[in-house]
Amino acid sequence: MRPLTEEETRVMFEKIAKYIGENLQLLVDRPDGTYCFRLHNDRVYYVSEMILKLAANISGDKLVSLGTCFGKFTKTHKFRLHVTALDYLAPYAKYKVWIKPGAEQSFLYGNHVLKSGLGRITENTSQYQGVVVYSMADVPLGFGVAAKSTQDCRKVDPMAIVVFHQADIGEYVRHEETLT
């Protein structure tokens, strides 16, 4: 468990900023307490100061996880967001996609969002913009990348992919063993 290096931080923030933009500041500079990012087993955890202190008592090899896992660094030192970060992405998300009830299940099984399942989308979403996916009842379901800009979405045929799937809350079940 160690703090992130600057490079790591940069990589990670660049990734997160795709989803929440300037709201990233709010994650770092929180009024309700000190929160920080910690790297442990190639995974980045977003931890409150208090938990950090508590976790300091546990040896690194025994420690499974602490705080909230935001994602992990791949071997190539790219950052991959995990669905566990959804809790922090969803409230701050700048670009959102709402999917119809019928398409929810499909998305939650790890499929991309088709236009037919697209219920609503934030305007001015550009292509390849990170988006958080919500159900029509505003329940965050996951996140992904907009495959089409909002304007394009209007034109494409219903079976075209609108949002590339990245993570969804179905992973809590499907990837239970790997999520920490």
Partner 1 sequence: MKPNREMKRLFVGGLGQGISEADLQNQFSRFGEVSDIEIITRKDDQGNSQKAFAYVNIKITEADLKKCMSILNKTKWKGGTLQIQLAKESFLHRLAQEREEAKAKKEKSTTGNTSLLEKIGGVDFHMKAVPGTEVPGHKNWVVSKFGRVLPVLHLKSQHKNKIMKYDPSKYCHNLKKIAENLTENIPITDLTWELEGGNDPMSKKRRGEFSDFYFPPQKMKKVQKSRGPMESKGSDSSLRINEVMESNKSTQPVTAHKKAPSSGMPSQSLLVSTSSTPTPDHVIFHTSDFEIIWNKSSMSDDDIDSEDELKMMIAKEENLQKTRHSLVNESENDPFEVVKDDFKSDIHKLHSSAKLGNDCEYDSSDTDEIIAMKKNIVKVKNSTESSQPEQPISKKSSFKKIEPSNDCVKVQKTKSNKESALGHGVKCLNPKFPPDSNVSDCEEESEEDEEYKALMKNCPRVNLTLADLEQLAGSHQKVPGKDDESDDSQNINQCIFDTNSKTPRTSYDLHNGRQCICPEDIVASLLEEEDTYSKQKPEETTLKPKFQAFKGIGSLYAKESVDKTLKETVAFNNISEHQSSLKHEDHNRIFIENGSKCANGSSSKLTSCQPAKKVNSPNHIQPPKRQFTVESQSHEVVSSTSFDKESKNPPSCLLPLKGKKSLNLGTKSHKIDCDRDTCHLPESRKASEKEGTDTSNITSFEKPRKVCLREDNQKSTASFSLSVSNASCVSAKDKHAEDNQKRLAALAVWQKAREVQKKLVHSALANLDGHQENKKTHIVFASDNESESEETPTHEQNNCPGKEVVKESVVKASGKLFDSSDDEESDSKEDSTRFNIKPQFEGRAGQKLMNLQSHFGSDERFRMDSRFLESDSEEEEKELNENKTNEDELAAEKKKTLNVVQSVLNINLNNPTSKGSVTAKKFKDIVHYDPTKHDHAIYERKQDDNEKESKARRKKKREEAEKLPEVSQDTYYNIATDLKDIFQNKDTNEKEEDLPWNEGCSGEETGDVSDAANLTSGAEQTSGFTFSFFDSDTKDIKEDTYRIEPVKRGKIVCQEDPRFQDSSSEEEEEEEEKEEEEEDVTKETDHRKPSPGEAFPEKETTRFFFFTENDDRLRGSNLFWCGVGSSISRSSWEARTSSLLLDCRKKHKEAKRKVKAN
Contact residues: partner 1, CB under 8 A: 3-4, 6, 9-10, 13-14, 17, 21-22, 24-25, 28-29, 34, 36-37, 49, 53
Q: Is 3 or 60 the residue whose CB approaches partner 1 more closely?
A: 3
Q: Is 16 or 163 the residue whose CB approaches partner 1 more closely?
A: 16
Nearest alpha-carbon partner for 52 in 39, 36, 63: 36
Q: Is 49 or 87 the residue whose CB approaches partner 1 more closely?
A: 49
Least distance (Å) from partner 1 to the CB of residue 113? 27
Nearest alpha-carbon partner for 92 in 34, 9, 21: 21
CB-based contacts of 113: which residues, under 8 Å, 6+ apart?
A: 97, 99, 103, 106, 107, 133, 144, 161, 162, 163, 165
Least distance (Å) from partner 1 to the CB of residue 98? 26
Do 24 and 15 touch, CB atoms closer than 8 A? Answer: no
Least distance (Å) from partner 1 to the CB of residue 23? 10
Do 81 and 143 touch, CB atoms closer than 8 A? Answer: yes
Nearest alpha-carbon partner for 140 in 95, 180, 179: 95
Q: How many CB atoms within 10 Å of residue 122? A: 16
Least distance (Å) from partner 1 to the CB of residue 95? 16
Q: Is 34 or 105 the residue whose CB approaches partner 1 more closely?
A: 34
